[in-house]
């Protein structure tokens, strides 16, 4: 870290302030400034006023000064350069924070040797080569203790992999061939066993490389909306340039015809031009874009382009997988329904015993619920000396044999058959319970002891807490939520109603998902979805915003335009919020920038032309002290407002879940009306300060 940097918190956290200030100055060169037409015009104006000031230092009464005081030209020049420096500072601080992120990511990228197989997938024959020489399609073996040298797809073997260097999650994950968990990321480490991997990226194209590129603005490409706004700002700049260019001949003509007044000077013309062109948003536009991408990276999401982030801000249909996104994915026991002649506690005790050796989430939840409701003591499985009956797909039951007690739990029809073999039957009341639970979207698990059916355990696909409120927030913003599930329509409808989604697609297949997305898009909707399997790839490729899970298949990741390194399906909602915040920030500051021009008209126009046309003095509604102080106050405010808005550009406008019309009205009030009022107050206060120090 630079010696000149200071401890940073909040806004400057992660940025080396020494480097930021240095970069702000180094960017005062024509090649860099030419990238931004608005600020390039300020740059040219600063050079011209600097030349005028230099000439006046040598010859104070030079005609080029137009009779203006030396101090006035000097201060105008000083603040024009500071306008550029403040704009450079905004971008440099954003890039500085990005560079800190990139440096952290680069530490995860290891230049390790790779074991490239030389004969098919024969692990015994390999050559050790540098990781940066690997090419897409190469076959490598990664063994316990080795770092994965490049992104790839597991084609043989199974291993426990530490992905904390990339995801920040300390718990290891399983990566294996032939399933939906076959993708590995360069920089991760194999903890046990071995895997044979097919490399899927060339050097410089891995996930880590793409993440680094996203936060290093030198490689950042402007998004479509950013390009469109840049064109608009350039057009406004050209218009104001043409207007100001006509003012000099107009002033010459006016003074000649009126026989009084003074001709507007080049210094004043430049000051007027700089104050009228949209320098505020022109100076902050790049910083807004960089900060938006950094918020995405901070959420552990890789986007292939800024276009995907902007599309996330515009989506109005969200396709959400039921399992893992809306529900936890593991059914949980929520209630015991006892049959005739059986108490609820007797049913709970039997269900608990039959689930002691059941390591499934459902089995563990039955044990937890029984102990919670009835205070049943913990049991030592070894001391019970019981025989456990494991679940089998053929029998569809599991249970326990203990002290001549035969307790089974399982699907209703499977238990009915086993009970019938022992001379028992399923009571009508229990059959009704089973049907009611199924109708509500739950899973009924029947419990029997010997030839007696004790009752039913209600297993429920638990809806994640808070998901209903988040979906309600999306609805307020005009975003439709659609749940995708393979469940039957009855179960899907029950869960959809509980979760509060707007619609659902039951018994979904890859073909039906793709068809649904196309129908939405043909109706003018922008669609976002999450997927992790190969069967999700067609729908991901069709979606406008497609978030693939890092734990998913290579096909899914290649089809998507974003990858969530945390493999959290609910992240899609956060991605939409980040996209909307980016668009809101850009729009709000553009509105503010254009609106605050109004006060500058009332400051500079009377100051420039009142001597020729005294009637224009009526426009001096702020009662500014003198023409020089009015112009100087406007230029100073124009520079200071950029630095004042840097925190907002970096943090973003506060996101609120509300309808677009209400959001627009509030932002127009805050940033439109605020953009009109703030300059009147700011320019007046600066003018009073200038008058107080004798510069009026």
Mean pLDDT of the chain: 84
Contact assessment for residue 484 and residue 503, using Cβ atoms and an 8 Å cutoff: no
For helices 306-314 and 279-298, the axis angle rounded to 10 degrees is 90
Q: Which pLDDT belongs to residue 169?
A: 62
The pLDDT tens digits for 384-441 are: 778 888 877 667 888 999 888 899 998 888 899 999 998 999 999 999 998 888 888 7
CA distance 676 to 665: 16
Q: Does the annotation list 358 as a binding residue? A: yes
In the DSSP assignment, the letter for residue 12 is: G
Q: Which pLDDT belongs to residue 637?
A: 94
Contact assessment for residue 408 and residue 397, using Cβ atoms and an 8 Å cutoff: yes
Q: Does the annotation list 362 as a binding residue? A: yes
CA distance 122 to 140: 10
Give percent above pLDDT 70 in the chain: 91
Asked whether the predicted pLDDT for residue 178 surpasses 80, the reply is no
146 is catalytic: no
Burial class (CB in 10 A: 0-12, 13-18, 19+), 118: exposed
Range name among 90-104, 117-131, 650-664 with the lowest pLDDT average: 90-104
Q: What is the set of domains in the chain, with CATH numbers?
A: 28-101+218-298+577-663 (no CATH), 135-202 (2.70.150.10), 303-326+464-565 (3.40.50.1000), 330-462 (3.40.1110.10)
Question: How many CB atoms are located within 10 Å of the residue 241 CB?
Answer: 14
Catalytic member of 321, 487, 564, 597: 321
Q: Does the annotation list 536 as a binding residue? A: yes
CA distance 460 to 327: 10
Q: Which pLDDT belongs to residue 420?
A: 92
CA distance 92 to 26: 10
The pLDDT tens digits for 4-61 are: 333 344 555 555 677 788 888 888 889 888 888 999 999 999 999 999 999 999 988 8
The pLDDT tens digits for 199-255 are: 988 887 776 676 666 655 444 556 677 788 888 888 989 999 998 889 888 888 888
């Amino acid at each position: 870290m630079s010696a000149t940097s200071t401890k940073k918190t909040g806004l400057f956290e992660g940025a080396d302030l020494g480097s930021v200030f240095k970069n702000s100055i180094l960017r005062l060169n024509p090649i860099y400034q030419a990238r931004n037409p608005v600020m390039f015009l300020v740059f040219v104006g600063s050079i011209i006023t600097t030349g005028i000031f230099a000439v006046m230092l040598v010859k104070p009464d030079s005609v080029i000064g137009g009779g203006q005081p030396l101090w006035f030209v000097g201060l105008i020049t000083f603040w024009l350069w500071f306008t550029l420096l403040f704009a450079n500072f905004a971008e440099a601080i954003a890039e500085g924070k990005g560079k800190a992120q990139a440096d952290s990511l680069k530490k995860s990228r290891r230049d390790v040797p790779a074991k490239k197989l030389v004969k098919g997938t024969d692990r015994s024959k390999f050559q050790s080569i540098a990781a940066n020489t690997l090419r897409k399609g190469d076959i490598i073996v990664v063994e316990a203790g080795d770092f994965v040298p490049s992104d790839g797809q597991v084609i043989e073997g199974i291993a426990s992999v530490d992905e904390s260097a990339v995801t920040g999650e300390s718990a290891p994950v399983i990566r294996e061939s032939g399933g939906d968990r076959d993708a590995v990321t360069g920089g991760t480490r194999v903890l046990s066993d071995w895997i044979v991997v097919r490399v899927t990226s060339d050097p410089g194209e891995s996930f880590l490389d793409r993440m680094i590129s996203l936060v290093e603005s030198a490689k950042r490409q402007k998004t479509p909306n950013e390009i469109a706004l840049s064109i608009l700002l350039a057009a406004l700049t050209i218009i104001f340039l043409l207007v100001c260019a006509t003012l000099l001949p107009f002033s010459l003509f006016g003074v000649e015809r009126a026989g009084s007044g003074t001709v507007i000077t080049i210094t004043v013309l430049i000051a007027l031009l700089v104050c009228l062109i949209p320098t505020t948003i022109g100076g902050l536009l790049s910083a807004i874009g960089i900060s938006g991408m950094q918020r995405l990276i901070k959420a552990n999401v890789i986007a292939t382009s800024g276009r995907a982030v902007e599309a996330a801000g515009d989506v109005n249909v969200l396709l959400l997988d039921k399992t893992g996104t809306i529900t936890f994915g593991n059914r949980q026991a929520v209630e015991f329904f006892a049959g005739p002649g059986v108490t609820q506690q007797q049913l709970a005790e039997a269900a608990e015993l039959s689930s002691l050796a059941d390591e499934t989430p459902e089995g563990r939840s039955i044990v937890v619920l029984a102990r919670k409701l009835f205070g049943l003591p913990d049991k030592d499985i070894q001391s019970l000396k019981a025989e456990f009956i494991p679940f089998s797909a053929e029998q569809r039951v599991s249970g326990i044999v203990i002290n001549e007690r035969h307790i089974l739990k399982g699907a209703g029809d499977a238990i009915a058959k086993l009970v019938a073999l022992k001379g028992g039957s399923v009571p009508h009341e229990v059959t009704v319970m089973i049907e009611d639970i199924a109708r509500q979207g739950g899973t009924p698990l029947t419990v029997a002891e010997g030839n007696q059916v004790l009752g039913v355990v209600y297993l429920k696909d638990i809806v994640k807490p808070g998901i209903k409120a988040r979906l309600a927030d999306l609805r307020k913003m005009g975003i439709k939520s659609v749940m995708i599930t393979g469940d039957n329509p009855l179960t899907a409808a029950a869960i959809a109603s509980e979760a509060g989604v707007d619609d659902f697609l039951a018994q979904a297949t890859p073909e039906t998902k793709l068809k649904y997305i196309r129908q939405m898009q043909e109706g003018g909707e922008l669609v976002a979805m999450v997927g992790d399997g190969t069967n999700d790839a067609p729908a991901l490729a069709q979606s406008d915003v497609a978030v693939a899970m890092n734990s998913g298949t290579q096909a899914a990741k290649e089809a998507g335009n974003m990858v969530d390194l945390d493999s959290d399906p609910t992240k899609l909602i956060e991605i939409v919020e980040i996209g909307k915040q980016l668009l809101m920030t850009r729009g709000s500051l553009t509105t503010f920038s254009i609106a605050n021009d109004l006060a500058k008209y009332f400051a500079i126009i009377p100051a420039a032309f009142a001597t020729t046309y005294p009637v224009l003095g009526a426009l001096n509604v702020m009662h500014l002290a003198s023409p020089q102080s009015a112009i100087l106050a406007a230029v100073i405010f124009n520079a200071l407002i950029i630095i004042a808005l840097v925190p907002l550009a970096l943090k973003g406008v506060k996101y609120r879940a509300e309808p677009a019309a209400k959001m627009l009205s509030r932002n127009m009030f805050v940033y439109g009306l605020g953009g009109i009022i703030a300059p009147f107050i700011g320019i007046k206060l600066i003018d009073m300060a200038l008058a107080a120090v004798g510069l009026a």
